Structure formats: C-alpha cells, structure tokens
Amino acid sequence: MQFLFFRALRAHTVLLLASMILFTTGCEDEDHDDHDHDEGHTDADGFLLEDEGGSQIYKEFKGAVEGAITLSVGDTLELSVHFLDDDGNEIEHDEEEHEGEEHEEEEGELKVSENDSNIAIVEAEEHEEGEEEHHGMAIHIIGVSAGSTSFKVQLMHEGHADYTSANNVPVTVN
C-alpha cells in the first residue's frame, strides 16, 4: 500500500514540475515577443540611400544589393537613409506620434561602421535640437583619397541594433 502511494505521488510531482516548466517557458517567450514588437522598434528588411535629388544610389533588400557609391576626392555626398519593410516599402514614421523629445528616442539612431577613413569619411548626420524641417536620417560621405572602402549601416535603439545591413555598402573614391 505504501508503495502505491509513493508511486502516485511521484507521478503527480512529475506532472506538476512539467506544467511549471512549460508555464515558465511560455511566459518568457511572450515577454520576448512583446519586446520585439514594442513601439519604437523598427522591423526593417532593408534600406535605400537617396541623393539630395531623390535618386536611388544604393539599395539593400533582404540581402539583395543594387548600386554603388562613387565620388571624387574632396567631394561630399549627402545621402538620406530610408528603411524598408517586408514588402520593400519605406517605413514611415507617424509625425503626430513623434512630437517633441520622444521623436529622436523612438526613431532610433543611425550608426555607420567598418569603413577606411583614409579613403572616405562616412558619418551619420546628427540632428540639432529643435531642427524640424529634416525628418529622417542621413549620412555624409567625404572623399579623402583615391581607392575603395565600404561601410555597414545600423539602426540603433535603446543600446541594440534593430537593423544591421547584411552587406557592406561599397564606396569608390576617384
């Protein structure tokens, strides 16, 4: 009789522990999914770079690449950066939701890396406080000496990258 009691107790204990593990794991996954879809996070599948005239200079979408950047020594090129959704459409930021100080925090910060500054200086444009005319992100590329280099684009949000380019963006300086 004692043996049957312990056997039944062991089965209930295993069932109870298994339920607790599944419940705990399920809650962690839900919290993680909520974090991924919080307001302010950008779910981008690519980006494009446009010159001041609105012409597409470079595009990366789901790993596929179109275009390259070419400039001369001493030239400065300003390119606007537009992030793309799963369908290849530009991700628009609702200006009414992004008024005041929250705009900069929610939009994210553009970061460039991995370029040879002896060939070209590539830097993210920093917006001045109170600047309202220019919504969006931009980079400046300054040709320093003849050669080739490349850079990566990252959209940073709260200390981590919401998006990192899959390929380095090629830059040729003549």
Identify the three-state secondary structure at position 10: helix
Token pair for residue 126? 């920093």
Indicate whether 30 pLDDT > 80: no
- Tell me, what's the pLDDT at 54? 94
If one compares 94 and 23, the residue with the highest pLDDT of the two is 23
What beta strand segments (E) does the chain contain? Answer: 46-50, 56-61, 64-67, 69-71, 76-84, 109-113, 120-124, 137-143, 147-157, 160-164, 169-173
| Structure-derived torsion over alpha carbons of residues 139, 145, 117, 108, reported in degrees to the nearest 10 | 0
What average pLDDT does this structure show over 132-151? 86
Please report the pLDDT score of residue 128 as a whole number: 53
Domain 46-173 falls in which CATH fold? Immunoglobulin-like (2.60.40)
Q: How far is CA 95 from CA 88, 92, 124, in A?
A: 21, 9, 21
Residue 83 near residue 72 (C-beta atoms within 8 A): no
* pTM of full prediction above 0.85: no
Tokens of 71: 């400039």
Neighbours of 120 (CB within 10 A): 25
Residue spans of beta strands (DSSP E) within 26-146: 46-50, 56-61, 64-67, 69-71, 76-84, 109-113, 120-124, 137-143
CA gap 42, 163 in Å, rounded: 7
**Average pLDDT value for residue range 89-93:** 84
